[in-house]
Each structure stands twice: as C-alpha cells, then as structure tokens.
C-alpha cells in the first residue's frame, strides 16, 4: 500500500511563481528588461475561465441539440491576464496609458504578436500545459 501522507495538502510541493521577461522593450532605469511575474491558477479557476469562453451552438439538423464551442483565443488571453501578477494588467492607469479598457485588451496592445505568443506559451507552461514530449517520455520511463 502506498503512503497517502504524500498527497496531503501540507506535503504537496507548491507551484512557485515564475519571473519572465515578456519583452525587452520594457526596461528599468538601468536599461535592464523588467521581469513579469506569472502565477499558476487552480483547476477550478481554469474551468471557470474556459466556461466564460464557451457558448452553445445548435447542431445542424437536430432540434434542441447543442454542442459546446470554446473560443480558444479568448480563453488563452483571459488565462494569461488571470495568471499575471506583475504588471497588474487590470490597473486603470496602465490601461489609460495605452488607451484601452480591460486586461485582455491591454495585454494584446502592450506586446507585439511574437511577444504575446511567447508569453501565453509561458503562462501555459507555468500552469502545467505544454510539457515537452521528451520530458513526458522520460517521466514515463521512470
């Protein structure tokens, strides 16, 4: 029988926040790129984000039948905003400086398309998604 104490909350290794340079264009007074801080969210929080980006669409030819359709781009953006601790993307002053309203709009205007793609990939990684195949194979072997 296995030792169940390893699964107790107080014994679980906590997911650490990650510092990440999302863009080399944001620099401090010394010219050094400013790191953004990313935190993981819970599965419940992730599920709620997914639900807010999912709508029911009718199934063609089937009366009163619907299927879920998730706007993956909206979900990824909402997740990135929720996981970003620094900078505070919901800060009104920061949003006003870019002339936008909302964290999602701010994130997309602050970062170039390439920076945005890299950033959301990092957020996914912090949340346990996108484990490289080599790592998964190695873990399975052990």
Would you state the torsion angle of the CA atoms of residues 37, 43, 48, 50, taken in this order, to the nearest 10 degrees?
Answer: 80
Q: What is the DSSP letter of 31?
A: S
pLDDT in tens, 37-62: 999 999 999 999 999 999 999 888 88
pLDDT in tens, 57-77: 988 888 889 999 999 999 999
CATH architecture of 14-129: 2-Layer Sandwich (3.30)
The span from the CA of 75 to the CA of 117, in Å, is 14
Residue 72 tokens read as 């993956």
User: What's residue 130's pLDDT?
Assistant: 72
Quote the Cα angle for 25-127-73, to 5°: 65
Range with the lowest mean pLDDT among 21-35, 71-85, 101-115, 125-139?
125-139
Q: Where are the domains of the chain?
A: 14-129
The span from the CA of 99 to the CA of 105, in Å, is 10
């Amino acid at each position: 029988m296995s030792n169940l104490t390893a699964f107790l909350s107080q014994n679980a290794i906590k997911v650490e926040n990650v510092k990440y340079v999302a863009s080399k264009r944001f620099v401090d007074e010394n010219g050094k790129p400013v790191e953004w801080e990313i935190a993981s969210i819970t599965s419940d929080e992730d599920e709620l984000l997914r639900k807010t980006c999912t709508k029911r669409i009718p199934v063609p030819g089937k009366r009163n039948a619907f299927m879920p359709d998730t706007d993956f781009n909206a979900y990824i953006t909402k997740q990135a905003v929720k996981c970003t601790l620094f900078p505070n993307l919901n800060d009104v002053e920061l949003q006003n400086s870019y002339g936008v309203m909302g964290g999602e709009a701010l994130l997309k205007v602050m970062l170039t398309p390439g920076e945005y793609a890299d950033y959301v990939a990092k957020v996914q990684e912090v949340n346990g998604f996108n484990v490289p195949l080599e790592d998964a194979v190695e873990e399975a072997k052990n």
